Structure 1
Amino acid sequence: MLARDWFYNQRRQVGIDSAVAAIYDRHGDSDLRARAALAMLDVKPGWRVADIGCGNGLLACEAALLGAEVDAIDISPALLALAQVVAKDRRVAIRTQSAGLLSFTYQPKSYDLIVSEFTLHHLPDFWKAVAMSRIFAALKPGANFYLRDIVFVRTPDGTERDIEEWAEFSISNHDFNRDSVVTHMRDEYSTFGWVIERMLTDAGFELISADYQAPLHGTYLLRKPRHGEQG
């Protein structure tokens, strides 16, 4: 996609160096969660898989260990370098691409699976929809898109109570400090689960499942319909 003067600049919010990248490796069960997700997605040897917003590359490397041909994509050079270290440690080959949801390169109908975790919320809603349509175009008919992100499960009631509850949940359950939670709510672009679902189905996806962990996490399994199916 060619850049224009009106095009959203994904890199203006990167701001991630190698020190900050370490936060992506703080959860001891990351390997187990990646393996469980890939087992649920039934990844096969020879599949073409893209992990967009790959972070430290754990899921990408686990997919490669299953025999998939993996593109590990991230906007942050520091995180791509970390993903290469993880791949070397695990003796697997992954391809890295310095890009994001709006700029990753692809051949139409070429991927058997695309995964994106905790990346979509960096985009305003208009650009979320653009990203979803690009992912739809990159997938083979019948292929799956697995999305996890920070979403708001319910609409706020207009008082400070809900905002404080969301902040406290993140601080208590995910080891985030208050400043990072406040910055996210004020300056980033998390939206509501019902908005995400409508964007996904309008992009053409079939919504297989939506799992919400109140009040802040949503996990979605989508399928690109095969030829002749209704999307």
Structure 2
Amino acid sequence: MSNWIYDEYKHCGVDYSSEEHAKKYDTEHQTFRDYEKEFNSMIEFLSLKNTHELEVIDLGCGTGATSVYATKQFKKVYGVDISDVMISQAKKKLSDMDISNIEFINAGFLSYEHKNEPVDLLITKAAFHHLPDFWKQIALLKMNNMIRTGGILYIHDVVFHFDAADYKEKIDNWISIFEKNAGAKFKEEVETHIRDEYSTFKWILDGMIERAGFRIENCRSNDEFITEYHCVKVKNIKI
């Protein structure tokens, strides 16, 4: 690999590379998230039918918050994450279940090479912000190659909808909501996200998605931050 390729293994923002932090991830996030409700909401948002016939890549699967539920509905699941300790946590969730339709791969947005046929759906939740914008575009092009034409790309992440001139008020208000719901410790993690990670503006991400051969079918956000994208691959772009 060329020396100028972005190092996905490099620490960015909140550090979930240690086993201790990986174990705490679900405990902290479940103070303000319902994983099963999120999964069912995603299925509805994407208007997915006959999911038992579909194959899915969960890119940036983390501790398996989505992958675990996907195994119950989809034909095949590929859980991909750059952190081996996060994957270990995901595997522990499945250890007492009789599940054989998931494969975990230790890789990232830029390093993962999908060896099988293009999938019907690619999901990335709360992970895409770890890449700077240039590398987000490259990652989207790589995702294009992983999805069949007509297949779906689902992005769930922090994306800024507000006018840049309003950034101080908008961000302060958003962080205060997390402090109220999840406590002072998680407030610090949200502050770290804003300061050290790479969430971007909606108008920028929209352009990247379209340039990577996708059509944005739907986009929704209740707070101008947490955003869901339903995109369809309309053009095959080889890289």
Query: TM-score with structure 2 length normalisation?
Result: 0.85
Q: CA, structure 1 residues 220+38, in 2 after alignment: closer, same or farther (shift >3 Å)?
A: same
Separation of aligned partners in 2, 1:226 and 1:9: 28
Structure 1 partner of 2:54: 47
- After superposition, give the CA deviation of every residue in 1:56-77 in whole Å (9 maximum; x if it has no partner): 2132122221242111011111
Equivalent of 2:67, from 60, 69, 78?
A: 60
Instruction: Report the CA distance shift for 1:153/1:98 in structure 2 as closer, same or farther (over 3 A).
Output: same
Instruction: Provide the residue aligned with 1:24 in structure 2.
Output: 26
**C-alpha distance in 2, partners of 1:51/1:155?**
31
Contact 2:61–2:80 (CA<8 Å) still a contact in 1? yes
For residues 68-105 of structure 1, what are the alpha-carbon distances to aligned partners after superposition, in whole Å with 9 as ceiling and x for unaligned?
Answer: 21110111111101111112233212110001111111
**Paired position in structure 2 for 1:138:** 146
Counterpart amino acid of residue 122 in structure 1: H
Q: Distance in 2 between matches of 1:83 and 1:43?
A: 25
Query: Which letter does structure 2 place at the counterpart of 1:54?
Result: C
How far is 1:141 from its partner?
A: 0.8
Partner of 2:121: 113
Relative distance call for 1:67 and 1:117 in structure 2 (3 A) is closer
Note the alpha carbon deviations across 1:162-214, whole angstroms, 9 max, x for none.
33223223333555633222221111101111111111011110110010222
Q: Quote the offset at 1:34 in angstroms.
A: 1.4
Provide the alpha-carbon RMSD of the alignment: 2.2
Q: Is the 8 A contact 1:61 1:92 kept in 2?
A: no
In structure 2, what is the Cα distance between the partners aligned to 1:10 and 1:129? 14
The amino acid that maps onto 1:169 is I
C-alpha separation between the residues in 1 aligned to 2:187 and 2:71? Answer: 36
Could you tell me how far apart the structure 1 residues matched to 2:170 and 2:120 are? 39
* Contact kept in structure 2, 1:155 and 1:192, CA below 8 Å: no
- The separation in 2 between residues aligned to 1:168 and 1:136, in whole angstroms, is 37
Structure-2 separation of matches of 1:88 and 1:60: 13
2:86 and 2:50 mapped to 1: Cα distance? 24
The total of aligned residue pairs comes to: 225
- 1:125 paired with 2:129, answer no
Q: Runs of at least 4 residues of structure 1 off by over 6 A? A: none
SS in 2 for 1:197: helix
Output the CA distance in 2 between the equivalents of 1:43 and 1:124.
Answer: 36
Aligned to 1:184: 193
The percent identity for this pair of structures is 26
Gaps of 5+ in 1: none
The residue number in structure 2 matching 1:98 is: 106
Q: Is the 8 A contact 1:80 1:98 kept in 2?
A: yes
Aligned to 1:222: 231
Corresponding residue to 1:7 among 5, 8, 11: 5
Distance 1:159 1:52 in 2: 29
Judging changes above 3 Å, is the alpha-carbon distance between structure 1 residues 143 and 160 closer, same or farther for their aligned structure 2 residues? closer
Q: CA deviation at 1:154?
A: 0.9
The 10-residue stretch of structure 1 (163-172 or 88-97) with the greater mean CA deviation from structure 2: 163-172
Structure 1 contact 109–141 (Cα < 8 Å) conserved: no
C-alpha distance in structure 2 between counterparts of 1:150 and 1:202, whole Å: 20
Deviates more, 1:87-96 or 1:14-23: 14-23
When normalised by structure 1's length, the TM-score is 0.88
- Structure 2: 5+ residue runs without aligned partners? none
- How far did residue 109 of structure 1 move? 5.6
